[in-house]
Amino acid sequence: MKSKQLANVLIKILGLSVVVHSIPGIITGLFTMVRASASRVPPGDYWFYPVSSVALAALGVCLIVKSRCLADFLFKNEDE
């Protein structure tokens, strides 16, 4: 396996790890928002945690999709 191929696979694994890591944050944030709205607590910063988790998931998806471009950028001087 060449360096570019290995980097591509490792970047995909990193992206998948980031997506899986963000799922509990999204679920926890949504439950917190629902619980806060049910108890009629004044709106606060309850939206920040789920939104940041969604942004993290989007970053992971971008890593998965663009892994080949990123590997090419990292190893642009290396011949096939």
Tens digits of residue pLDDT in 46-67: 788 889 999 999 999 999 999 9
Whether residue 80 lies inside any domain: the answer is no
pLDDT in tens, 3-41: 889 999 999 999 999 999 999 999 998 898 888 888 877
The residue count of the chain comes to 80
- Residue 79 pLDDT: 60
Whether residue 79 lies inside any domain: the answer is no
Which tokens belong to 22? 């963000």
Residue 69 lies in domain: 3-74
Return d(Cα 20, Cα 4) in angstroms, integer.
Answer: 24
Whether residue 40 lies inside any domain: the answer is yes
Predicted model pTM: 0.81
